[in-house]
Amino acid sequence: MSKISNWKEWDGRADAELAALYVEQRLDRDALAAMMGRSLSSISNRVSRFKMTEREKVQMRRCLGGCERLFPSSWIGHRQCPACYASNAGLMECA
């Protein structure tokens, strides 16, 4: 098994950590890459996937996907945290 050394799987916990650092603490992507031990492109892909780029519009909303935790939601219709979204989409086991 060979893996690129700086590749790490993204799971709900990592997404939540990314969101908290990027959206709430307003760190830039370079800082996030260093803090999370991931590549800049990996961070950027994830930020755009969850539409965190418009930080001003992001609000903490309660997840309706099952866990009921607060998560950074990019718009009013975005009501599942990344972990529940992935779980409900059948991409991974429910935690």
Chain residues that interact with Zn ion, rule: CB under 5 A? 63, 65, 67, 81, 84
Q: How far is the CB of 54 from Zn ion (least distance, A)?
A: 21
Q: How far is the CB of 47 from Zn ion (least distance, A)?
A: 19
Q: How far is the CB of 73 from Zn ion (least distance, A)?
A: 11
Comparing CB distances to Zn ion, the nearer of 33 and 81 is 81
Contact 84, 63 (CB under 8 A): yes
Comparing CB distances to Zn ion, the nearer of 33 and 61 is 61
Q: In terms of DSSP bridges, do strands 59-62 and 70-73 run parallel, antiparallel, or are they unpaired?
A: antiparallel
CA dist., res. 15 & res. 83, Å (int): 8
**How many CB atoms neighbour CB 24 within 10 A?**
12
